[in-house]
A and B are shown apart, each in its own frame.
Chain A
Amino acid sequence: MPNRKNIVPYRRPAPGTQPDYLFPPYASTVKRAPTKPLVVLPQTLTETTGPVFGRDEVKPGDADLTRQHRGDPIGERIIVSGRVVDENGQPVAGTLVEVWQANSAGRYPHRVDQHDAPMDPNFTGCGRALTDKQGRYRFVTIKPGEYPWRNHYNAWRPAHIHFSLFGPAFATRLVTQMYFPGDPLLERDPMYNCIPDEKARRRLISAFDWQTTIPEIALGYRFDIVLRGRKQTPFEKRR
């Protein structure tokens, strides 16, 4: 059995920065959110450890969503990059980042998606990367389109890219969505607005990034992600 040295737990979320399970404006939560009280789980070795993924599974080409088929996908090519750090500002190195998104017309190649918009045979819309030592990741893709959904009258999702991250532990697992600056659909979007804290909401919006924009090739958008961090020990605070 492993040693029993004391576990330094991950922080609980700051009030208002994470959604509740039940949020009726997002209709699907009504039949799927837990109705009984959650049991507060003490963090043990189970929650403070997590799976590791390696270069044998994630190839550099997996981060370029525009090179998965014979031809070029239709749409505006973009670079999406950023850093993954923890709540203590430390880079999260070597962690798996999965992304998926609609094509430039707002359509997913999925049996459930019946939106009357064209499929793009040159775009599947999924990719993955491992962060480098500084916690950086970088994807080449095309700008996803907005699309309608039937949640309420005239409901349209703002353009977004789904992000799934592991971090070092079971407790740091995060799935989120990245949005684009200036999108007029954000203010009416239940998913964006499920977050009570306005600053936390705004952190889901990427920033146009001149530094990562490539002349004559693609605009850059920056999206930094923060995973849960451990509570600091008195020793670390002194440093």
Chain B
Amino acid sequence: MSLHATTSQTVGPYLHIGMTWLVTENLVRAGVPGERVTIEGRVLDGDGKPVNDASVEIWQADAKGRYGAKGFRGFGRSNTDMKGRFRFKTIKPGRVPGPRGKVQAPHIAVNIFMRGQLKQLVTRIYFPGDPSNDADPVLSLVPARRRPTLIAKKTKKTLQWNIVLQGKDETVFFEL
């Protein structure tokens, strides 16, 4: 038996009505091991204007590289505010297996939904200065000059990572 997956449709402008109840900007409960990180950023459209009607969802492993382990669900959802901002408090994930026996660098998977997007955008967040980034099997598929769009930037207290939909600094999006 073989069926075709139902077609994707846009979340439209009123996504917050249905998706706000599950907003999860803080993924970590007290006592969960791992390095705490705050990731903040903005979603910007082709004119550089903030996208105030987006929902950003993340999926990640725990500090030991386990998905869905007890005590850490690893799911986050942040709806952008009027300035297009989203934020997550989480932990830096451990390394997880990749293709052909390789190990992936710590990363967070991202789904982005918004009006004007007929299906979600898929991307990833990597961590600045992590020595395993250079050999990461997914990052190495991305043209070197575009790789920085997938790596968060370190500031004093947070990691900054913007989602740029179009233009020179356009974020790398994946076909999954």
Contacts and interface: CB of A to CB of B under 8 A. Distances in A.
A4 B6 contact: no
A18 B119 contact: yes
Contacts of A44: 96-99, 104, 138
Given A21-B118, A29-B118, A126-B18, A46 B5 contact: no
B75 A51 contact: yes
Contact of B9 (A11, A36, A191): A191
A57 to B, nearest CB: 8
Q: Tell me if A's interface is mostly helix, strand, loop or mixed.
A: loop
Interface residues of A, number: 77
A204 B4 CA distance: 12
Interface in B40-80: 45-47, 49, 51, 53, 57, 59, 61, 64-68, 73-75
Interface string A33-58: 11110111111111101111000010
Contacts of B5: 11, 13, 17-18, 87, 174, 226-229
Interface stretch (A70-78, A106-114, A213-221): A106-114
A100 interface: yes
Contact of A32 (B15, B61, B99, B117): B117
B73 A51 contact: yes
B1 interface: yes
A176 interface: yes
Contact of B65 (A2, A13, A170, A225): A2
Nearest to A13: B5
Q: Tell me if B's interface is mostly helix, strand, loop or mixed.
A: loop
Nearest to B13: A112
A143 interface: no
Contacts of B96: 1-2, 44-46
Range of interface residues on B (Cβ < 8 Å): 35 or more
Interface of B: 1-19, 21-22, 45-47, 49, 51, 53, 57, 59, 61, 64-68, 73-75, 94-99, 101, 103-104, 107, 109, 111, 113-122, 137-138, 141-142, 146, 165-167, 170, 172-176
23 contacts: A1-B97, A19-B9, A28-B116, A30-B116, A31-B45, A33-B116, A33-B117, A34-B121, A35-B167, A36-B170, A39-B142, A45-B96, A87-B4, A89-B2, A110-B16, A110-B17, A162-B14, A164-B19, A170-B109, A174-B6, A175-B120, A228-B5, A229-B5
Interface of A: 1-2, 4, 11, 13-14, 17-21, 23, 26, 28-36, 38-47, 49-52, 57, 85-89, 98-100, 102, 108-110, 112-113, 124-128, 162, 164, 170-171, 173-177, 191, 194-195, 200-201, 203-204, 225-229
Given A1-B65, A30-B46, A98-B18, 17 more contacts: A11-B5, A18-B119, A29-B118, A33-B117, A34-B166, A39-B174, A40-B175, A44-B96, A44-B99, A100-B17, A110-B13, A110-B14, A162-B9, A173-B111, A226-B3, A226-B4, A226-B6
